Amino acid sequence: MESVTVVRTSVQDIANSLAKTFYETATERDRQGGNAKVERELIRKSGLLKVLIPEKFGGLGGNWIDVLQIVRTFAKVDSSLAHLYGYHFVNLITPYLCGNQAQQEFYYRETAEKNWFWGNAFNPVDIKLYARKAIDGVYLDGVKTFCSGSVDSDYLLVSARLDEQVDPLIAVIPTNREGVIVNNDWDNFGQRQTDSGTIVFTNVRVKNEEILQGGYNRDEFSKLRINLGNFVLNHIYLGIAEGALEEAKRYTKSKTRARSTLYQSAIEDPNIQRHYGEFYVEVEAARLLVEKSNKIFQRLWDKGKKVTEDERDALDYAVASAKIYSTKVGLDITSRMFEVMGSRATANEYGYDRFWRNIRTLSLHVPVDVTIQELGNKVLHEQ
């Protein structure tokens, strides 16, 4: 227990230090867009890419709570880097959930030893990448979109359609594999440094040992992969809301003028105080929902193959609830923060609109309406 506590403290200290560095350039980098190569290299050198890898494979032996606290820390100042960091682990642990023992150990050891930064070409609803069988594996042809973390990555998690197979083929390949072209073409108004553009595959060979044979429907434990995307995003949403609130407070205390001559400062204005009371309750409620899902997910992760269908169903409820509320809170606070800061806060020099642009862009990946409907359906049909 003591060693785990030491790991948790040390990695969080490193994350806090990095976040301060990221904060200094966040507004300008948001304007520039493109690849955050310098910042990605800082994360590589920090050792934080191996937090979740067990010590016996050369990692730091941390857990998901450690990883997600770092994701939130980064998201408060730069949600693009939080996205890249969180999804690094979503990709990294896929061989652990869906591969065989040799693949689990190989990708853990190699990542720990060589500081691999994982990207993805995984989007399972994107069906423009096809695999064809060959004696020595499969060959890939087509295009993948929304490939977050792909630029400047070392390895890619890939999904593709194979014949009439219902479940996608899942594989892991080096980003520099012949025939892979990573386009630095992500140019959206939010999450501007997530490298979430397109990848073109032309006759790309995938060896048999690079194909994850298990798939994520073989048991309840492997199905945790289905929850992981939203699970990580919830912490980014929460981090964005927390970061926006901190920026708003900082500005209100130092620059916002009182709305009435009755008050000497903005922080004495009852109308502004009321907004901050609402903001606090919203963030606190979102935090409690997100941290509840943390405990459930970590417990199931630790159980491994013993996870039951009922337990994973409880996780579905927790992750969906956290997603629905953290999305609503994030969108609300990142928009209404200007009501407590005032019109001068809309100046481009501050770039405060980045908080709303980021969560608005990210929250559209899997629309919250779908999650609300699915949760409502489960509630109505439960016994």
Confidence (pLDDT) at 4: 55
Q: Return the pLDDT at 27.
A: 97
Residue pLDDT, tens place only, 188-232 = 999 999 999 999 999 999 999 999 987 777 899 999 998 899 999
- SS3 of residue 353 by DSSP: helix
- Give the closest residue to 39 by CA, choosing from 65, 15, 63, 64: 15
Quickly list DSSP for 70-104.
Answer: HHHHHHHH-HHHHHHHHHHHHHHTHHHHHS-HHHH
pLDDT digits (tens, 9 = 90+) for 68-89: 999 999 999 999 999 999 999 9
Q: What is the pLDDT of residue 218?
A: 83
- Give me the helices (H) in the chain, please: 2-32, 37-46, 64-77, 79-92, 94-98, 101-114, 224-254, 270-303, 309-341, 353-363, 368-381
All residue ranges of the chain with pLDDT < 70 are: 1-9, 383
Residue 72, pLDDT score: 98
Q: What pLDDT, on the 0 to 100 scale, is given for residue 3?
A: 52
Q: Which residues contact 12 (CB under 8 A, 6 or more apart)?
A: 66, 69, 70, 73
pLDDT for res 145: 95
pLDDT at 264: 83
For residue 165, the model assigns a pLDDT of 81
* pLDDT on residue 260: 76
Model confidence, pTM: 0.95
Contacts of 340 (CB under 8 A, 6+ apart): 248, 252, 256, 266, 272, 275, 276
